[in-house]
Amino acid sequence: MAQQAAGMSGFDFSNAMVVITGAGAGIGQGIAQAFHAAGGRVALGDLRKDAVERAAAGLGGERTFAGAVDVRDEKSVQAFFAAAERALGPVTIAVANAGIYPNCPVLDMTVEEWDRVMETNMRGVFLTCQAAARSMKTGARAGKIITISSGAYASGRVGASHYCASKAGVVMFTRVLAMELAEQRINVNCIAPGYIKVDTETLPPTSDFETALIQNTPWGRLGTPADIAPAALFLASAAADYVTGEVLSVNGGAFAGRMYLPLSTPKAR
């Protein structure tokens, strides 16, 4: 079964133990499915216990562990890693995916709202990566750590100052951690998704917002979690052993330029 799955994905993770936060839905769940299909042992963590248990059950229950984790809380993260490693063995790959993306203009934003985003999107990445790196270093194991940022790290958006700032912070944190862990041969890289269509507990985006995004995406569609998962597989594979401290944008070409602009001069006849 592992060989069949590896053949379908192009990668074989049958010897890997993968920890993924925010795996109860969306991008995290898609990444968990991909690693599991490629033969990996997968530990799914999420603040929502019911959601993450359903996600793990959807993988068939074999080679999986599901646990509730609050990535903002150091003790919760440590307890989750300890339980995952007891169930599936030492971690070799970690994906710090958990994040939130509310909208609020700066002048209307409360300190609590700002802190909530920073605690989840920044502190959560820090604590997840720290726990993974400490385990890998203690066991003298080379490993792969992947953070999930966003195209928002390089392109601001009205109403998302806290989100954009947090995702820019994730990129710089990734680069510094990559330097610090290079001696242990622990690769640290970042994926910056474009807009990914997922179910959300917050207010859904307007159709005008999504239409504008599609118009500025050369690929002409919104992304899905299945578009992000292959990037995670690549960065976690031996094919990326000489890649560290990098940001891999997966956005259908949205960073290529301004697709919405017409020709600046008339077409030649």
Q: What's the rounded Cα separation, in Å, for the pair 93 and 40?
A: 10
Condensed to tens digits (0 to 9), the pLDDT of residues 179-231 reads 999 999 999 999 999 989 886 555 567 788 888 888 888 888 989 999 999 99
Task: Tell me, yes or no, if 163 is annotated catalytic.
Answer: yes
- The whole-number average pLDDT for the span 58-67 is 92
Q: What is the pLDDT of residue 201?
A: 55
Mean pLDDT of all residues in 65-91: 98
DSSP SS3 for 223: strand
SS3 for 117-184 is: HHHHHHHHHHHHHHHHHHHHHHCCCCEEEEEECCHHHCCCCCCCHHHHHHHHHHHHHHHHHHHHHHHH
pLDDT score recorded for residue 68: 98
CATH number listed for the domain at residues 2-250:
3.40.50.720
Inform me whether the pLDDT recorded for 54 exceeds 70: yes
Candidate from 70-74, 77-81, 140-144 with smallest mean pLDDT? 140-144
> pLDDT by residue (tens digit) across 157-181?
899 999 999 999 999 999 999 999 9
Over residues 50-59, mean pLDDT = 96
Nearest to 151 by CA among 190, 207, 114: 190
Domain boundaries of the chain, sorted by first residue: 2-250
Element (H, E) at 225: helix 225-236
Catalytic residue chosen out of the listed positions 163, 195, 242, 260: 163
| Of 168, 163, 186, nearest in space to 245 by CA | 186
pLDDT number for residue 132: 98
- CB atoms inside a 10 Å sphere around CB 220: 10
Measure the CA–CA gap between 66 and 83, rounded to whole angstroms: 9
Burial class (CB in 10 A: 0-12, 13-18, 19+), 58: middle
Classify residue 3 by its DSSP letter.
H
**For range 25-43, the mean pLDDT:** 97
Please tell me the pTM assigned to this model: 0.92
